[in-house]
Chain A
Amino acid sequence: MNPLLAQFLAEANDLLAQVDEGLLQLERVPGDPELVNEVFRAAHTFKGSSGLFDFPELTRLTHAAEDLLDAVRGGRLALDSQMTDDLLAAFDLIRGWLAHVTAHERLPASAGGDAAGLITRLRSPLGGGDTAPAAATAGVPAPVISAAPDWLAWFDAEWLTEIAAWLGTTSSTMRFVHYTPDTDCFFRAEDPLHLVRQVPALERLGLVQPPAWPDPEDYDEYTCLISFVVATRAALGELDYLFRYVPDQIEIVELDAGAITRHLSGEPPLTAEEPVTVAITPMIDTELAADARAVLRAAHSALTMEGVVNEGPRLRSVRHAVTAAARALGVPVDLAESGPDELLATVARLAGEAAPAPAMAAPMSDMSDVAVPPPPPMVVPADAPGRADDPGGQVGTRVLKVDQEKVDRLMELVGELNVAKNGLTFLADAAEEEFGSRVLSRRIKDQYAGMHRIAEELQAAVMDVRMLPLSVAFGRFPRLVRDLSRRLGKTIDLVTEGEDTMADKDVIEALGDPLVHLVRNSLDHGIETAEERLAAGKHGAAKLTLAAVADGDAVIVEVADDGRGVDPERVKRKAYEKGLISEEELETLTDTEAVDLVFRPGFSTADQVSDLSGRGVGMDAVRASVEKLGGTVTMRSKLGQGTSTRLRLPLSMAVTQVMVVSVAGQRFGIPVDLVVETVRVPAGEMSRVLHQEVVMMRGEVVPVVDLARALDMPWTLAEGADRPILVVSVNNQRVGLLVEQFHREVDVILKPMEGLLAYADEFSGTALLGDGLVLLVLNMKEVLGLAARVA
């Protein structure tokens, strides 16, 4: 089901309950203004939301209910029990409909007929025809030719003369607007000049200066002192619409050549011509009339069907319905004591008198036939299906609206639970080491295992709540691509795929900036102009694809274009010129490796910087921000065929597993994802290549970095002791980290660095450990960079 509809149904359930309860209370405490207001508001919200879907009957019925409640609220009508019945019946009917909508996503076919009677009855206390929505436009329509107002003088005479001649030659008219903004209009966020520039077919703008400008010292720049006069060829309707928020600040006249000429020659303006009086034929709201006719049809078929209506409640309700319909049609009738035959005659007469407009379907002349097409459903008001005790099915699935902050709080608590849980392992160690009880230690560990499982499930459940579809991140791109492509003069088809892939809300949020950068980059540099594309034998319209797909614990987002691609030779040359690669690399780098150079810091070059893809913020920033999320970026490109950039991000970033190690007495965390293995290497097996310590592992030479030295924490290793080495894989390269000691793996909630440490790139965040210590989690890439610099 469309999520918006699901949301509506969930909300509708609450609103229906509110209305029911409110109405029932109102019956006990009639006229309580607070209660009336509450019911009104619920009906009002209902109507507002129902308009979003293609349920016209629902909107009309709620509209009728709302109007009735509004009249009650405004004190124009006292709520009686008949009205309460009708209102309850209306909302019962709606409840039935919504159950149908829940199952079939549309209203029952009978909805129109079912609603017609109720609408008529709800409207009848308001007095039939009066309910037609006021058709009057905001402003008083200008008489076709007005007398030229004095303010015309604010246009220059030369132009007025010209335009008068032209209007005379072409026997046409022009609209003139005098716009006098309120002096305090800026404080309603009005910008008169902005409004004026939106006047369609604006011909001339004139300025009305204030009688006297204030002294510059006393000038208040937020008081609007100026006014405008505007000449335009736009239609009155367009002007009324544009100025609808400021009707009291606007005067519009329509002038022809004569009126302008008289103004120019200084003749007193002719008195305005007699206002044209238009004969207003009382018109009955067609919607209401259609409803009334439907009621009459229903009544007719009820009355003609043998044995259905004789006496008692049914006849009374038919009588009630027909009376209401008659009033709506402007032909009131008195049917107080009439029997079935009399009623039937009245129905026939009403049908004749209130013959529908010719365009209307279902001619009422068929009324005399027994078979009335189409056979209307046998629902005559008072018998509307289902009262409150018969809810007629469950509306919507139960959906809770939860504040995002509450979910965040829940996540925090899960994190704290994890921390507390991790504390148990310390306790187990203490039980064994300090109190010498291996049994107790064992039992604590068992307890830990049980808690661990529950905590994991709880965490998964909360994570699930936090999941959002990628469409949230993709949502802004149609507009962005449209605007940018227009500015660049390129034709681009944006294709999005896999928008319903889910990821944690933090990931989705963090994805925003890198994606915008990649898309802009693609638009700016990757995609050629239509001419270039056609010259290269491509389709004139470029294709830009945003795709997302789930991959285990990760989500892969790809930005791909079919543009000019990256030229590996040019990239290599540029990187060499910038001193980013050596001459040897210039020779040996493969094309794939060359493309990857664009992510090197300092690669973005001046000729790449434009006002679109930012000032010097290069692809290195994209890579850095994605890696900060624990993700990776790779780019593939074929010269002349296009480029695709692939971001791989963890589905969630709330909980990170880290391996705790210590160096020089201080503990640090390293993301477990990066850890390949932990080994203890006898001192003798360490060797040196150039200045780099290395170790041989399964025939592979692995460089070993002294973590303490890289972090500038002096320590000395006992001579001859085994070397604890943590092997990590960063950028597909194995590196050994020489540490002092290994500790356990823990789940932590990573918090971003704050304060002074926020600029320390070698740390990706902090986490609280079970024993209360704050753990610094290392950003391995930066640490290895540091190590290289130290060496």
Chain B
Amino acid sequence: MPLELHEETANLVGVVTVDEVEQLAGWLRTAKRPKVSLRRCNHLHTGALQALLLFKPKISSAPNDAFLAAQVLPLLTGSNGPAHKQGSDPP
């Protein structure tokens, strides 16, 4: 299973496809202090990334996957570019 969901923590494992997006978003919606581990995640669907961006769970561990670690994790932690700003009009 690409999603291992517990009360407050979730592990994303392997390839998280579009089929998992609904479940992930549902969990993020209800969990009080969600923590997500990306350690074993190899890819996540854009919809899953988007849900993480919206609900801003704490990312408890960084992905092993090189692309996710180097390019996507910074987007989630706001350390790559002006990701904290809002609005499609560039700053």
In the complex, chain B residues 53-74 whose Cβ is within 8 Å of any chain A Cβ: 53-55, 67, 71-72
**What 1/0 mask marks residues of chain A from 519 to 562 whose CB sits below 8 Å from any chain B CB?**
00000000000000000000000000000000000000000000
Q: Is the CB of B50 within 8 A of A191?
A: no
A153 to B54, CA, bound (A): 21
Cβ–Cβ < 8 Å partners of B72 in chain A: 193, 205
Q: Say which residue of A154, A211, A224 sits within 8 Å of B81 (CB atoms).
A: A154
Given contacts A204-B71, A224-B47, contact A213 B86 (CB under 8 A): yes
**Interface residue A399 (Cβ < 8 Å from any Cβ of B):** no
**Contact yes or no, B88 A192, CB < 8 A:** no
Docked complex: A186-224 residues within 8 A CB-CB of B: 186, 189, 191-194, 197, 202, 204-214, 216, 219, 221-222, 224
Q: Is the interface of B mostly helix, strand, loop or mixed?
A: helix
Is the C-beta of A226 less than 8 angstroms from some C-beta in chain B?
yes
B74 to A, closest residue via Cβ = A205
Q: Is A151 at the interface (CB under 8 A from chain B)?
A: yes
Asked if B51 is at the interface (CB within 8 A of a chain A CB), the reply is yes
CA distance A155 to B82 in the complex (A): 7
B window 28-83: CB within 8 A of A: 29, 43-47, 49-51, 53-55, 67, 71-72, 75, 80-83
Q: Are A221's CB and B81's CB within 8 A?
A: no
Contact with A along B6-21 (1 / 0, CB 8 A): 0000000000001001
The chain A residue sitting closest to B45, CB to CB, is A191
A193 to B80, CA, bound (A): 16
Question: In the complex, what's the smallest C-beta–C-beta distance from A352 to chain B, in angstroms?
Answer: 60
Tell me the complex Cα distance, A226–B82, Å: 14
Nearest chain A CB to B42 CB, angstrom units: 10
Bin chain B's interface residue count.
20 to 34
CB within 8 A of A197: which of B43, B55, B86, B91? Answer: B43
* Chain A residues near B50 (CB-CB < 8 A): 221, 224-226
> Is A159 interfacial (CB 8 A cutoff)?
yes
Which residues of the other chain, A, contact B44 by a CB distance below 8 angstroms? Answer: 193
Shortest Cβ distance from A652 into chain B, in angstroms?
A: 39
Q: Are B47 and A222 in contact (CB under 8 A)?
A: yes
Bound complex: CA A186 to CA B45 (Å): 9
In contact, A156 and B80 (Cβ under 8 angstroms): yes
Residues of A within 8 A of B4 (CB): none
Name the CB-closest residue of B to A195: B46
Supposing A156-B80, A156-B81, A221-B25 touch, asked if A150 and B47 sit within 8 A by C-beta, the answer is no
Decide if A197 touches B88 in the complex (CB within 8 Å). no
CA distance A503 to B81 in the complex (A): 61
Q: Does A193 contact B46, Cβ atoms closer than 8 Å?
A: yes
Q: Which residue of B lies closest to A193 (CB)?
A: B46
The answer to whether A197 and B25 have CB atoms under 8 Å apart is: no
Give the residues in chain B near A385, CB-CB below 8 Å: none
Query: Which residues from B are CB-within-8-Å of A129?
Result: none
* Shortest distance between the CB of A23 and any CB in chain B (Å): 47
The CA-CA distance from A153 to B88 in the complex, in Å, is: 10
Residue of B47, B67, B85 touching A209 (CB-CB under 8 A)? B85
Contact A155 B46, CB 8 Å, known A205-B75, A221-B21: no
Produce 1/0 per residue, A84-114, CB < 8 A to B: 0000000000000000000000000000000
Counting CB contacts under 8 A, is A181 at the interface?
A: yes
Q: Does A186 lie within 8 Å of B75, measured CB to CB? A: no
Q: Contact: A205 with B71, CB < 8 Å?
A: yes
Given A205-B75, A224-B50: A211 touches B86 (CB 8 Å cut-off): yes
Q: How far is the CA of A151 from the CA of B89 in the complex (A)?
A: 8
The chain A residue with its CB closest to the CB of B90 is: A153
Write the residues of chain B forming the contact surface with A, with a CB cutoff of 8 angstroms: 18, 21-22, 24-25, 29, 43-47, 49-51, 53-55, 67, 71-72, 75, 80-83, 85-91
25 intermolecular pairs with C-beta atoms under 8 Å apart: A151-B90, A152-B90, A154-B81, A154-B90, A156-B81, A186-B21, A186-B47, A191-B45, A193-B43, A193-B72, A205-B72, A206-B81, A206-B83, A207-B75, A211-B88, A213-B86, A216-B29, A219-B29, A221-B21, A221-B25, A221-B47, A222-B18, A222-B21, A224-B47, A224-B50
Beyond known contacts A202-B71, A222-B21, A224-B47: 10 more, CB 8 A cutoff: A154-B81, A205-B75, A207-B83, A209-B85, A210-B86, A212-B87, A216-B55, A219-B25, A221-B25, A222-B18
Spell out A's residues near B (CB within 8 Å): 150-156, 159, 181, 186, 189, 191-194, 197, 202, 204-214, 216, 219, 221-222, 224-227
Across the A-B interface, the 4 shortest Cβ-Cβ residue pairs: A153-B90, A156-B81, A205-B71, A221-B25
